[in-house]
Amino acid sequence: MRIEIFAAHWGNNELAPQVFIDRVKAAGFDGIEMSLPLDAAARDDWTGRIAAAGLGLIVAQWETVFHPTFEPHKQALAELLHNACAAKPLHVNSHTGKDYFTSAQNRELLQLAADISRQHGVPIVHEIHRSRFSGHPMLLLPYLDQMPELQLTADLSHWCCACESLLEDQPQTLARTLPHVRHIHARVGHAQGPQVADFRAPEAQDALAAHLSWWDEVIRLRRAAGAERMTLTPEFGPAPYTPTLPYTQQEVSNAWELNLAMLDLLRKRYMR
């Protein structure tokens, strides 16, 4: 099974497209994970540059966060997913639904995504994320029972926040969830936040060990299933994910440097 590691565009939006692409290529990533413009010319400019650099593409859909009521959310989701799939990425990572939508509404959105995925022949995976349909384990698990074909992006740092723990008290939750994971956001969270200041620091080692154990299990499951590829994106982000100092608001760590360090850790751990 090929392990492919992607660079997050999040946190690098100020860079010109070619500058960012060259930076990603020089760092040794296999591809880029990013949202794409709805303007077709701008979208095709990005995808052409990425392909010319020999990099893979995962498209992120998160903009439905701006649509808090159901019908506008559904309309935006359809437009964004069609646009994402038109780029023919490896897969689309979608922020889907809301934790306050009804179960029926969220299932309607998930079915919409499944229909669009089939139409384009592009897998769509749904990110575990606070405030989405998957924002807490007890929110997600009923959907896995009702829609066992659901495929997920594991960003389990969000569940650490939601559960105020490193999930050590609910192995059954992880056992039901991890078989559905097809993509990993390799960020380390803790019981009070989605991102430790520096995963290499001594005080972050328990959190790092917990996340590595989850990622290890996903990799094991995918290898056992005979999967061709597994993708991971180091996803340490800028403030407010990166903690800041009081008064000055200076970030205490650099997200790009953390993502490079995570790239190195993942390569050494999974590509031996």
Is 17 in a helix, a strand, or coil? helix
Mind listing the pLDDT tens digit for each residue in 151-208? 999 999 999 999 999 999 999 999 999 999 999 999 999 999 999 999 999 999 999 9
| 8-state DSSP, 127 | E
Mean pLDDT over each residue of the chain, to the nearest integer: 97
* Proportion of the chain above pLDDT 70, given as a percent: 100
Q: Are 236 and 187 in contact (CB under 8 A)?
A: yes
Q: What is the pLDDT of residue 271?
A: 87
| 8-state DSSP, 251 | B
- Phi/psi at 93 (5° precision): -100, 115
Q: What is the pLDDT of residue 81?
A: 98
Is pLDDT above 80 for 58?
yes
- Please state which CATH class domain 2-270 belongs to: alpha beta
pTM over 0.95: yes
Nearest Cα to 94, choosing from 45, 50, 60? 60
Mind listing the pLDDT tens digit for each residue in 103-123? 999 999 999 999 999 999 999
What is the arithmetic mean of pLDDT over 221-250?
Answer: 95
Extents of the domains making up the chain? 2-270
- What b-and-e string marks burial along 92-125, b requiring 16 or more CB atoms within 10 Å of the CB? bbbbbbbeebeeebbbebbebbeebbeebebebb
Mind listing the pLDDT tens digit for each residue in 60-90? 999 999 999 999 999 999 999 999 999 999 9
